Structure formats: C-alpha cells, structure tokens
Amino acid sequence: MRTLHFFKQAFLVVFIVGFTHFSFAQGKDLPNVVILATGGTIAGTAEGADQAGYTAGQLGVTTMIESVPGIQELANLKGEQISNVGSQDMSIDIWLTLADRINTLLASNEVDGIVITHGTDTQEETAYFLNLVVKSDKPVVTTGAMRPATAISAEGPLNLYNAVAVAASPKSIGKGVMVVMNDQIHSAHDATKISTTAVQSFMSPVEGQIGGVIYGNIEYYRSPYSIHTTKSEFSVEGVMELPRVDIMYAYADMPADFIAYSIKAGAKGIVIAGVGNGNMNAATLEAVKKATGQGIVVVRSTRLPSGDVLRNAEVNDDEYGTVVSDELNPAKARVLLMLTLLKERNIEEIQEIFFNY
C-alpha cells in the first residue's frame, strides 16, 4: 500500500512538474492564482445539452479556464490537472497529493491563492481535509457544478469565475479553506451538499454561510469559528496513508455485528451516523462499549443534516468511552478522526479536538 502510494505520488509529481514550466498566463499586475483541477461535473460532458445523464471529469483544466469570459481580468492564472475523476472516486492518495502541492505552491511568493475544481459529491470532505492540513493563510477555494459543462445553463463557468475572485481577494486571507458555489461562500467546516440535482446544492446548516460573491464582488459576513490552516495542529508532511476509519449508518433495528466486522477489517476508528442526537440501539451501544474497551475510537455523529451531538446527554459517553462529533457530519468526523489517529492521544484530548476543529 505504502509503496503503491509512493509510486502514485511520484507519478503525479512528475505529471505536475510538466505543468509548472509555463508561467502565469498574462503576467499583468494582478494576483497569481493556480487552479488545481480534480474532475467532477464541472468538467463533465453529455451528448446533448438537455440530458440528465453525463460523464464527470472529461474536460481538462485549460478548456475549463478558456470557457469563462472575463476570468483573465481577475487574476493571472495557471492550471494544473491533479486528477480527472468523478468525486465518488476521490481518494486519500489524491488528498495527500493535493495537500502537498498546495503547501508547496503557497510557500512560494509567486502564488497568492488556489482554486480547486472538484465534483460536488465529496467536495465537503476534500475541503475540510485541506482546511486541517494546509499551512498557509492565503485563500484556498473549492468549487464545482451541478450541471455538466455541455448543459443548458451550465453554472460551472460562473462558479469558477467567483471562486477565482475569492481566491484572488486580499479579503479572503485567513478565512481557511472555502467552498464557493452558487454565489455563496461557505467555510469548509460548515458546508455540506444538500441536494442531488439542484443548483443550490450546498449550505452551512448549523453556522450559516460566511459570505456571498456576486459576479466576483465579495462580501464576508463573518470569519470561520473553528481552528483551521495555520492554527491547525495537523500535518500530512511525509504521511503516506491514513488510519482506516469506517462510518456506520444507524437505523431502526440496526444489527450490531458491523462493528466487529469493521474492527476485523482493520478500522482504528468508527464513526456512527446516529439517529437523532447521535443515538443507536442498545445492541449497537454494547458493541461500541466493547470496541472502545479494545482501544478503538468511536465517534457519535448524526445522520441528521443539522444540530450538534451533545456529550453525556442522551448517551453516557463517559460510560461507553465514546467521543461526540459536536457539529461535524459523519463524513467530516471521519476526516478529523483519521488525522487525529496519526498520533496517540487519550479520549479527553480527542474530544477536545472535536470541540475545537
């Protein structure tokens, strides 16, 4: 696994170096922004303009940039193709490559901001991962689209335009990683996808969006509340893989044996997408207690779209040895737990991390 990751990283680095030989497009007195393309519907195409079916991750980064009128007036742009996948195929390998590339680019005086084009399905996970491991105050923005590039009223070009405007703006410094979709600016900590097909596909259900961007005009309402980027204690420098953390979706009459299976398969942590306030049935709670007794870290999150999971309220976390996710949904709780488990820590420390990040 490690060796495979090393070769994949080496391949991607060689691939990327090929793109770093050309300099920023126009060299005007504008901020320099690098667009890292990973695929998704924003780069997707269909046979016709009126079809629901399409293939994600078809267009290259240069074609995407060229399709946006006026974008060259916002920033000097450079594009790099990191991957070209539907984001259901986003992987930890690609995350580690992205983090490494972003940290290298932002350490250079030549780069003022980064935009990542991404499928919307797992965009929130990538954005949150980067929010924890990017070591710079410079703006990092993810964006995508719900309609493929060939569709009637494709919204990708305007999303990319707005994302570049946000990444190029000094107002965005220190805001952590942001998700820019449909004229809204969300903190990576808060954003979540809420619709399978609608253009209004992202929201920040607990804390609300942090700003808006209309044809490149930006207004921030607030700064993110949780710890991110330069203040984050997490780093993936030299990291080749992350510990396995599984997510279990709770429901009526859920069987408890998934927990034992997951541990046998190598999980070091488990996130329960609990019912209500992070709840699960009695049989699953007993299996969880056994798991935490064996040193597996179990985080209680919720399958609901909004609200905090409260510690020692409906479930006695002290007794079961569990951690609550606070505001994080299951997918983001998994990201945080994987990074947390890179180092040995006790349950109290892990709980503090979930309250602060």
**In this complex, which beta carbon is closest to ligand SIN, that of residue 79 or of residue 119?**
119
Distances (CA, A) of 119 to 43, 88, 217, 234: 8, 8, 24, 25
Least Å distance, CB 200 to ligand SIN, is 13
Out of 56, 75, 166, 288, which residue is the one contacting ligand SIN (CB under 6 A)? 56
**In this complex, which beta carbon is closest to ligand SIN, that of residue 119 or of residue 224?**
119
* Alpha-carbon span 287 to 121, nearest angstrom: 31
Pairing relation of β-strands 297-302 and 323-324?
parallel
Least Å distance, CB 81 to ligand SIN, is 15
- Residue 349 corresponds to which tokens in the numbers above? 């420390």
Tell me if residue 32 falls in helix, strand or coil: strand
Least Å distance, CB 39 to ligand SIN, is 6
**In this complex, which beta carbon is closest to ligand SIN, that of residue 43 or of residue 285?**
43
Out of 32, 41, 209, 351, which residue is the one contacting ligand SIN (CB under 6 A)? 41
Alpha helices in 2-54 (DSSP H): 2-20
Q: Which residues contact 12 (CB under 8 A, 6 or more apart)?
A: 82, 97
Strands of the 76-85 sheet, one edge to the other: 76-85, 32-39, 113-117, 140-143, 177-181, 184-187, 211-214, 217-220
Residue nearest ligand SIN, Cβ-based? 119
Least Å distance, CB 41 to ligand SIN, is 3
Distances (CA, A) of 193 to 121, 132, 164: 7, 19, 21
Out of 81, 87, 117, 169, which residue is the one contacting ligand SIN (CB under 6 A)? 87
Phi-psi region of 58 (alpha: psi -120 to 50; beta: other; left: phi over 0): alpha
**In this complex, which beta carbon is closest to ligand SIN, that of residue 31 or of residue 39?**
39
Least Å distance, CB 351 to ligand SIN, is 32
Of 74-82, 119-127, 230-238, 249-257: span binding ligand SIN (CB under 6 A): 119-127
In the residue annotation, 41 being an active-site residue is answered as yes
* Alpha-carbon span 329 to 278, nearest angstrom: 10
**In this complex, which beta carbon is closest to ligand SIN, that of residue 87 or of residue 209?**
87
Span between the terminal Cα atoms of the chain, in Å: 29
Tell me if residue 46 falls in helix, strand or coil: coil
Least Å distance, CB 34 to ligand SIN, is 21
**How many residues make contact with ligand SIN (CB under 6 A)?**
10
Site for ligand SIN in 149-178 (CB under 6 A): none
Helix (H) or strand (E) holding 177: strand 177-181
**In this complex, which beta carbon is closest to ligand SIN, that of residue 196 or of residue 346?**
196
CA dihedral (312, 256, 274, 146) positive or negative: positive
Out of 12, 33, 40, 160, which residue is the one contacting ligand SIN (CB under 6 A)? 40
Least Å distance, CB 194 to ligand SIN, is 12
* Alpha-carbon span 291 to 296, nearest angstrom: 5
Pairing relation of β-strands 113-117 and 76-85?
unpaired
Phi-psi region of 176 (alpha: psi -120 to 50; beta: other; left: phi over 0): left
* Alpha-carbon span 2 to 342, nearest angstrom: 15
Out of 75, 146, 248, 291, which residue is the one contacting ligand SIN (CB under 6 A)? 146
- Among the listed residues 38, 41, 192, 302, the single catalytic one is 41
With binding defined as CB under 6 A, does residue 134 bind ligand SIN? no
Of 18-26, 116-124, 234-242, 254-262: span binding ligand SIN (CB under 6 A): 116-124
**In this complex, which beta carbon is closest to ligand SIN, that of residue 57 or of residue 274?**
57
Of 114-122, 171-179, 181-189, 333-341: span binding ligand SIN (CB under 6 A): 114-122
With binding defined as CB under 6 A, does residue 302 bind ligand SIN? no
Active site residues: 41
The footprint of ligand SIN (CB under 6 A) covers 40-41, 56, 86-87, 119-121, 144, 146
